[in-house]
Amino acid sequence: MGSHAKAWLVEDESAREMLDRVLTERPFLLLPPLHRVPLRVGNVVELVGPSSSSKTHILIQAAITCILPKLWKGVSYGGLGHSAMFIDLDCRFDVLRFSELLNHRIMEAANGSSSKVGCHQKDSEAQFERMKPYNEELFALCMKRFLYIRCYDSSEFLATLKTLHYRLQKEREVHGVNVHLLLIDSIGAFHWVDRGSSSFPLECDNRKSWHLQNVSEAVVQEIRRLLLVHPMLVMATKAVVLGNKYSTNELTWNYRKWSAVDNPYSRNITSSDQQLPYREYMPAAWQSFVTHRILVRATDDDLVNGEHQNNSIYLLKWLLPPLNSLDKFTVRDTGVFILS
């Protein structure tokens, strides 16, 4: 017994060693356009914005960065080499667009390395043809690391989360890669359906009724449990309706009236200094689970990019942690391109 007690007191590693280990195993991620705040596993990032504000695009960009390898056959791709899981609650994912983006990233990295050697135009084309089978092999390798599932209602979503632990264990055994990224698009998808399903009293008291708050709590609990065993970065999108900035007073007044009568779950807006430009509708369980929050929206400006392409410009603002800067970015074939 005494030797066991002593074993508790012997140190495993010094603080410096621990820091070294953690920083190599769980590096900070700087994913454009979310590059202002470094993200780590265990963070829960929420991307908030109205429809068509490139939220899903940012998720896809993060997934591609995750599934690309760091170094492959001599070419540096700058990725993480881990798997990414995409839970599609909106059911609007376009796999052809995803594969296009992945291909463009692969070619860009391959061309980037070849241009360093200093080839001429003809040489680079020949090299491109030579690289093609390698690119296809890499493409297949990366696509196999991208895991996708669709959920058509909350019960399917919960069933997915509950069996995710065993799925991840299987993935680890079969492919030997860990899942680093969990993407959810979008988290508020079943909000109205769950609110509308009234809680019928069941015979047995042990079962919880199907209620918006219970569903949300169950989702948060499952993800928390999952993060304990499989550390991942969680990114979720949420569609909101932005209030007109000239009528924010009216918006907050309506919100207060609405929150007093109808919805006891929303956060009390008067308690915080920061006035949110949108109406928060997720229950408090989810709101307190989120560690980082970003607001994106499209502006009316276009970036003229050649005669045929007109890319819209998007604005990005960090709400949690609150930063004063506004980032502008646009979406191109190779992905997100920061403007300022």
Partner 1 sequence: MARLANLETEYPVLDSTVRNFCASHGIFSAAFAEQNDSSERLKEGIAQVLSIIDDMHQPWLNGMELLEDAKRNKHVFPTGIQGIDLLLGDGIRVGQLTELVGPSSSGKTQVCLRTASNVARNHMVLYLDTGNSFSPQCIAYFLGKTISPSSAQAKNQFLQKVMSNISCHSVFDIFAMFDVLHQLESYLRCQDGRGCCQMRLLIVDSISSLISPVLGSSSTLGRALMTSAGYLLKKLAHQHNLAVLVSFARVSSVLVWLN
Q: Report the interface residues with partner 1, using CB under 8 A.
A: 51, 67, 90-92, 95-96, 98-99, 140, 142-153, 155-157, 159-160, 162-163, 165-167, 189-190, 192-193, 195-197, 204, 206-207, 222, 225, 241, 258, 262
Q: How far is the CB of 83 from partner 1 (least distance, A)?
A: 9
Opening angle at CA 285, ends 282 and 291, nearest 5: 90
CB of 117 to partner 1, least distance (A): 31
Question: Could you count the other beta carbons within 10 Å of the beta carbon of residue 276?
Answer: 20
Between helix 55-67 and helix 95-117 the angle, nearest 10°, is 50
3-class state of residue 203 by DSSP: coil
**Amino acid residing at 55:** K
239 within 8 A of 59, measured Cβ to Cβ: no
C-beta closer to partner 1: residue 194 or 327? 194
Q: How far is the CB of 113 from partner 1 (least distance, A)?
A: 24
Nearer to partner 1, 29 or 142 (CB): 142
Q: Least distance (Å) from partner 1 to the CB of residue 32?
A: 22
Nearest to 251 by CA among 243, 259, 240, 263: 243
Q: Give the residue with the Cβ less far from partner 1, 29 or 189.
A: 189
Q: Do residues 214 and 202 lie in contact, with contact meaning Cβ atoms separated by under 8 Å?
A: no
**Which residue's CB is nearer to partner 1, number 22 or number 241?**
241
- Type of residue found at 333: D
Least Å distance, CB 126 to partner 1, is 28
Contact 238/48 with Cβ under 8 angstroms?
Answer: yes
| In the complex, minimum distance from the CB of residue 216 to partner 1, in angstroms, rounded to a whole number | 15
CB of 229 to partner 1, least distance (A): 11
Task: Look at residues 247, 273, 330, 250 and name the one whose alpha carbon lies nearest to residue 296.
Answer: 330
Q: Which residues contact 245 (CB under 8 A, 6 or more apart)?
A: 277
* 126 backbone dihedrals φ, ψ, rounded to 5°: -65, -40
| Of 23, 110, 32, residue with least CA distance to 336 | 32
**For residues 151 and 158, what is the distance between their CA atoms, to the nearest angstrom?**
9
Beta carbon nearer to partner 1, 179 or 318? 179
Query: Which one, 280 or 327, has the nearer CB to partner 1?
Result: 280
Smallest distance from partner 1 to CB 155, Å? 7
- Give 99 or 127: the residue with its C-beta nearer to partner 1: 99
* Residue 296 DSSP code: E
Backbone angles phi, psi at 149, to 5 degrees: -145, 150
With respect to partner 1, which residue has the nearer C-beta, 21 or 175?
A: 175
